[in-house]
Amino acid sequence: MKKAGLKLGISGIVTALFFWLLSVPLGPAPPLGKFWNPQTGFWANTQNVKRTDHKISVASEALSDSVTVFFDQHQIPHIFASNNHDLYFTQGYITARDRLWQMELQTHAAAGRLSEILGSRTLQYDRYQRHIGMNYAAEQALEKLMAHPKTAEAVEAYAAGVNAWIDQLDPSEYPLEYKFLDYRPETWTPLKTALLLKNMTYTLAGSNSDLRMSNTRAFFGDSFIKKVLDISPPLNDPIIPESKDWNFESQAPEKPQHSFTPAIVDTVAPFQPDPNNGSNNWAVSGSKTANGYPILANDPHLNMTLPSIWYSLQLHGPDQNVMGVSLPGAPAVIIGYNENIAWGTTNVGADVWDWYEITFRDSTFSHYNYDGEWHPTTKRVEKIKVKGESTVTDTVVYTHHGPVVQTSGDEPMRSNIPKYHAMQWIAHEKSNELRYFLDINKADNYDDYRQALQHYESPAQNWVFADSSNIALTVTGKYPLKWDEQGRFIGDGSNPSYDWQGWIPFDQIPHVKNPDRGFVSSANQDPAGDSYPYYLDDDFAPYERGRRINEQLASMEDITPKEMQKLQMDLFSYHAKSILPTLLQHVKTDTLSNIHKKAVTELTEWKYENKGELIAPSLFNAWWDELYEAIWSDEYQQTDIPMEWPSRDQVVTFLHNNSSSKWYDNINTPEKETLKQLINRSFNQAILSLQNKHGDWGDSWKWGYINDTDIRHVGRLPGLGRENVFTGGGGESVNAIRGSHGPSWRMVVQLGPEIKGWGIYPGGQSGNPGSKYYDNMIDEWRDGELFPLWFMRQPPTATDSLHYTITLN
């Protein structure tokens, strides 16, 4: 009895301990019992989307009529509804079914709420999101969204649809990532849609180099900026043809007479969007195409993730029939076409984020100096919930410019007067981009397009357009009226002439319709050349992609959609063509080893195509990187402060124009280096670094591997991405795949009475890592194949390519 009691005691305690162990999270891993049991754990996610014909009943008042959703073989939903409310409701419902976790994560990240699910390791990230005012921006947007009946209806119906999906979910049906991170979805709100849209402004118009430019001016002086950072490469080819006559008077304000020298007391390094964010779009007029109607093409380059940023669908309602890609979390189609028109986008890198030096009265930050007087600040309290810890309260100070991003930190103050930086950013404006999307979805012609664009403010985009007889492009956005170079450096926050002083009128923003050359195009380059009367920015994408596209389009006749798809896959590198011959000329061939000789041969025979199968692009890229470092890093590394580096095409121009320069000398060595020495040294260094990183010369040196394309999980969970996709391309090629960045959606549309579209993105429609539709389009995308999109004019009859049908009522 005694012995038995002891056994019971031990067994009972061990059992209790074991069950406890299975019920608690182990470090970052989810509770074992909850996650691994086959009934409700991850195994249940192998079957949580029904892909057969079925009917779904939603709450009685949710839909006013029944809605039919046809899924094609690519799992693209084609939604047929009899009114717009039902249409957007169903878009929300179906998008949530396929992408719920991604939708919520993206808006949590935008709002600075990641710590709620990930704990204190993301606290710094969340703080930054709060300090740049993302929630403030979204609240501003929401106000305007809800003030317009049509956009209010759309976001509310969409939210109701998402919530209808969430409400019927059993915990065993939660997407895998919820189970892994052990939390549950919350109610979707229109505010989240606003956050998502403002987050696009963050991704695409979060660029600002004021601090780096100010530091560079302070460290290297004005002449360096003039001689290097102001270089405009001769091959620049602006978006709007330079022949354009700007027949209006500039309303730009006058430049202050004395330029302000900022004190730069804090060194907050501003977020930089990935320099590879870019895109191509173009439209060719009917006079240049085989069937006499325009063709439009677009490929936006973004960070490529699984699930993809895009979700493809068709929306068919009483006043619209539109197809393309949507952003999970927002109603409507973002890039696509309808029965009459097509449209697409690339980013405009205009300077819409400026920093101001603010002088506060004292360290309470309650008042700041403006126009000779002390003005009160406002304060916004941000509460950041942290998983497993207590809530962190953060107070952000706002001036009339915008939030003061850093008011505490490690940097000691240099004087009694605290000086910090306030930011003014376009995202903080009340705007309603959704109104543009709803209108362009329904647009029939050029006038509708221009009308719709008036509601589009940020992030500024080159919206390209085509209908069956017109092509057009508008460098669309709300741009502050600035004097020349206003906002290039940190501004004087106390001086009203540094404020944004109104906006460039819509009619005066750069646009072009049916130009003589028969095409319009954009690749993020300088929008309008020097003759444009307003200052937009100094820093646009290098000329290479834009020039290549324009030259190709100019030389083409009788164009077919297939040829446009081929141009999207073009691998030519203008960068290599412009500088490689010069580099090779300087190589001292007499003293080369065998491997170096082999490299020179490869490069000499290279046709400047960034093909994955070749080794030459790897050699050239490594060589260029080493040379760039050798020229600039000795001087730039004299200080820790962040500075602005010259862009690729500026350096090429500099090398062409300066056969000798003090910048070629390595200041860390006693000898005086020449350009020839740098070129030879960096060539040796490049070979050495390829050997160190990738072993001996061989297949592993092929550009397809070195380009290093990983398509990672959007929440960076290991194992849920696709690693090592063998790709060609480069940041300077039209096919701009570089690392994990690249064409996140490729689309070609043939206009005319029989409008026809093709498209693909590197991912899959399903967000479930257990689905074969999670990453099924990556291989075809890599190979440059675009799927013909099934654009339904009416509900289809059953065919092989129809996968299944859902009816909601």
Partner 1 sequence: MLLALFIALTAWLLSLVFPWWSLAISGLVLGAILGKSGKHSFGYGFLGIGGLWLIQSMISHINNNGILTERVANIFSLPYPWLAIVMTVAIGGLAGALSSLTGYYCADVFLDNTDK
Q: Which residues line the annotated binding site? A: 351, 354
Regarding 52 and contact with partner 1 (CB under 8 A), the answer is: no
Secondary-structure breakdown of the chain: helix, strand, coil percentages, each rounded to the nearest 5: 35, 20, 45
3-state secondary structure of 233: coil
Q: Report the alpha-carbon distance of residue 249 to residue 663 in Å, rounded.
A: 42
For 1, the token pair is 């009895």
For 306, the token pair is 């699984």
Burial of 631 (0-12, 13-18, 19+ CB in 10 A): buried
**DSSP element (H, E) containing 32:** helix 32-36
What secondary structure, in 3-state letters, does 277-341 show?
Answer: CEEEEEEECHHHECCCCCEEEEEEEEECEECCCCEEEEEEECCEEEEEEECCCCCCCCEEEECCC
* Range 677-696, binding partner 1 (CB under 8 A): none
At 771, the amino acid letter reads: S
CB of 792 to partner 1, least distance (A): 30
Regarding 37 and contact with partner 1 (CB under 8 A), the answer is: yes
| Residues contacting residue 599 through CB under 8 Å, at least 6 positions apart | 619, 683, 687
CB of 800 to partner 1, least distance (A): 22
Residue of the chain from 24, 26, 27, 41 that contacts partner 1 (CB under 8 A): 41
Regarding 19 and contact with partner 1 (CB under 8 A), the answer is: yes
Regarding 47 and contact with partner 1 (CB under 8 A), the answer is: yes
In angstroms, the Cα distances linking 601 to 385, 572, 594, 626, 729 are: 60, 19, 11, 20, 21
**Segment contacting partner 1 (CB under 8 A): 41-49, 102-110, 242-250, 334-342?**
41-49
| Closer Cβ to partner 1, 6 or 688, answer by number | 6
Q: Taking a C-beta distance cutoff of 8 angstroms, is the pair 180, 35 a contact?
A: yes
Q: Taking a C-beta distance cutoff of 8 angstroms, is the pair 654, 231 a contact?
A: yes
Per the DSSP assignment, residues forming a β-bridge with 77 are 71
| Closer Cβ to partner 1, 170 or 249, answer by number | 170
- Total residues at interface with partner 1 (CB under 8 A): 40
Which candidate, 709, 29, 779, 729, places its Cα nearest to that of 305? 709
Q: Report the alpha-carbon distance of residue 652 to residue 647 in Å, rounded.
A: 9
> 279 an active-site residue?
yes
Do strands 353-359 and 491-492 pair parallel, antiparallel, or not at all (unpaired)? parallel
**Segment contacting partner 1 (CB under 8 A): 22-30, 116-124, 125-133, 418-426?**
22-30
Regarding 715 and contact with partner 1 (CB under 8 A), the answer is: no
Regarding 718 and contact with partner 1 (CB under 8 A), the answer is: yes
CB of 722 to partner 1, least distance (A): 11
CB of 305 to partner 1, least distance (A): 15
- Tokens 């290991």, residue located: 718
User: Choosing from 279, 522, 647, 766, which is the catalytic residue?
Assistant: 279
Do strands 378-384 and 311-317 pair parallel, antiparallel, or not at all (unpaired)? unpaired
Binding mask 770-799 for partner 1 (x = CB under 8 A): xxx-x-------------------------
* Range 746-775, binding partner 1 (CB under 8 A): 769-772, 774
Regarding 118 and contact with partner 1 (CB under 8 A), the answer is: no
Regarding 29 and contact with partner 1 (CB under 8 A), the answer is: yes
* Range 178-197, binding partner 1 (CB under 8 A): 180
Q: Report the alpha-carbon distance of residue 732 to residue 225 in Å, rounded.
A: 24
CB of 11 to partner 1, least distance (A): 5
CB of 313 to partner 1, least distance (A): 24
Binding positions for Ca(2+) are 351, 354
Residue of the chain from 36, 248, 374, 726 that contacts partner 1 (CB under 8 A): 36
Regarding 639 and contact with partner 1 (CB under 8 A), the answer is: no
Residue of the chain from 25, 26, 27, 40 that contacts partner 1 (CB under 8 A): 40
Regarding 46 and contact with partner 1 (CB under 8 A), the answer is: yes
CB of 32 to partner 1, least distance (A): 6
**Segment contacting partner 1 (CB under 8 A): 43-51, 75-83, 533-541, 692-700?**
43-51
| Closer Cβ to partner 1, 8 or 59, answer by number | 8
* Range 162-181, binding partner 1 (CB under 8 A): 176, 180
Regarding 724 and contact with partner 1 (CB under 8 A), the answer is: no
Assess whether the previous peptide bond of 307 is cis (omega < 30° from 0).
yes
**Segment contacting partner 1 (CB under 8 A): 3-11, 342-350, 511-519, 627-635?**
3-11
Q: Report the alpha-carbon distance of residue 546 to residue 208 in Å, rounded.
A: 22
Regarding 231 and contact with partner 1 (CB under 8 A), the answer is: no
Assess whether the previous peptide bond of 459 is cis (omega < 30° from 0).
yes
List residues with catalytic annotation.
Answer: 279
Question: Which residues of the chain form contacts with partner 1 (CB under 8 A)?
Answer: 1, 4-5, 7-8, 11-12, 14-15, 18-19, 22-23, 29, 32-34, 36-47, 176, 180, 717-720, 769-772, 774
